[in-house]
């Protein structure tokens, strides 16, 4: 039987509300119960953090590499160890390594890397997010056009079979992929996210009608909201079935646009970092320019952590502390179907928790 302990904090954010002077009782990797501090059993070991906030750990569903090891360039378990460490330093207990448009061989090697990471006992990485190459070249952003294409059934099947159990998300342009292939991808239990797309409003809705339930980095690399053609951005904000990620670094999206999207989408808007790392090798050299990354002069990724995203949302987008926390924990958990395990502090949920101070600086990831 696993031993129990109590984590006592000044305030506990359950994912719904704040509790004052409460303790979270954990047993192994799960939360057993919440108790007022005054009701703690005398014989229970207690870790006390009286001036701290205890909140659910974060989840980052799109990050490409860390500490000089871009996964597409270094598709090996060691790169994932670094990536996981970077994510944990920013409060994310779960992260989804991502590979952008590339040769299929790079996808296969990245799949191998994740399997090797798991075999070595690695945690915190549930699978792989493949972004492209089945996207629209008109909205490629920093993606390399030579690799962009519409897939055949054979190409899709080969990748899906090789990545069975590893590929968890595929970002594609719904107007570039046949309904048959969209159905095929879904049959493997993979989440399809619409992105790098020039779909018109009706094309986007047609994709949602096929079961696409996520959209990748709202506003970036997609058909914009215009008064005569609302595009993918407008369809996303308009359609209650769809959730969308957004990058709150102040460069990818203006903070006012985040605030507008939040008012339109409410709980359907969640955060990704879209973080990359310095690299001069491979197809996507990234150079840190201030606190963002560029590739060949094009904005190519952020230098965010999830915690920095929370801080930015509160400080610059006018989003409440509670909603900012949910956008980085509960809402990405919903995208993955993990919202009965992550994103809340209540009985039966994971004991992956964060201690923050009142300024939202990280004290410790538990």
CA dist 124 and 126 (Å) reads 6
Q: How is the beta sheet containing 92-100 ordered, strand by strand?
A: 58-63, 92-100, 128-131, 167-172, 191-194, 214-215, 243-246, 269-271
Query: What is the total residue count of the chain?
Result: 366
* Cross-strand bridge partners of residue 60: 95
Main-chain dihedrals φ then ψ at residue 361, nearest 5 degrees:
-85, 145
| Distances from the Cα of 304 to the Cα of 35, 139, 289, angstroms | 35, 23, 13
CA dist 19 and 40 (Å) reads 15
CA dist 17 and 55 (Å) reads 10
Query: Residue 266's CB: how many other CB atoms inside 10 A?
Result: 11
Which active-site residues does the annotation give? 274
CA dist 106 and 125 (Å) reads 18
Main-chain dihedrals φ then ψ at residue 255, nearest 5 degrees:
-65, -30
């Amino acid at each position: 039987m696993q031993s129990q302990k109590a984590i006592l904090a000044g305030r506990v954010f359950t994912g719904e509300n704040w509790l004052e002077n409460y303790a979270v009782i954990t047993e192994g990797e799960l939360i057993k119960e919440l108790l007022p501090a005054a009701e703690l059993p005398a014989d229970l070991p207690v870790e006390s953090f009286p001036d701290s906030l205890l909140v659910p750990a974060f989840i980052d569903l799109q990050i490409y590499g860390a500490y000089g090891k871009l996964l597409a360039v270094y598709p090996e378990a060691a790169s994932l160890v670094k990536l996981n460490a970077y994510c944990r330093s920013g409060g994310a207990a779960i992260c989804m390594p991502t590979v952008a448009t590339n040769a299929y061989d790079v996808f296969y090697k990245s799949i191998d890397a994740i399997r090797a990471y798991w075999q070595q006992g690695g945690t915190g990485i549930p699978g792989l997010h493949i972004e492209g190459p089945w996207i629209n070249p008109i909205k490629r952003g920093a993606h390399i056009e030579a690799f962009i294409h519409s897939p055949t059934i054979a190409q899709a099947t080969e990748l899906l079979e090789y990545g069975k159990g590893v590929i968890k998300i595929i970002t594609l342009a719904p107007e570039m992929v046949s309904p048959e292939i969209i159905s095929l991808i879904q049959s493997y239990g993979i989440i399809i996210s619409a992105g790098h797309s020039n779909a018109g409003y009706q094309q986007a809705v047609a994709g949602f009608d096929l079961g696409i339930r996520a959209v990748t980095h709202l506003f970036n690399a997609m058909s914009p909201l215009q008064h005569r053609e609302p595009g993918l951005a407008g369809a996303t904000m308009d359609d209650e079935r769809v959730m969308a990620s957004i990058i709150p670094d102040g460069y990818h999206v203006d903070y006012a646009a985040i605030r507008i999207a939040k008012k339109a989408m409410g709980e359907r808007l969640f955060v990704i970092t879209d973080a990359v790392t310095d690299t001069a090798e491979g197809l996507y050299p990234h150079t840190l320019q201030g606190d963002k990354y560029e590739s060949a002069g094009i904005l190519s990724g952020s230098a965010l952590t999830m915690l920095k995203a929370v801080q930015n949302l509160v400080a610059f987008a006018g989003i409440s502390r509670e909603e900012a926390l949910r956008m980085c924990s509960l809402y990405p958990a919903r995208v993955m179907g993990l919202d009965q395990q992550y994103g809340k502090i209540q009985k039966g949920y994971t004991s992956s928790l964060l201690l923050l101070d009142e300024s939202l600086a990280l004290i410790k990831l538990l």
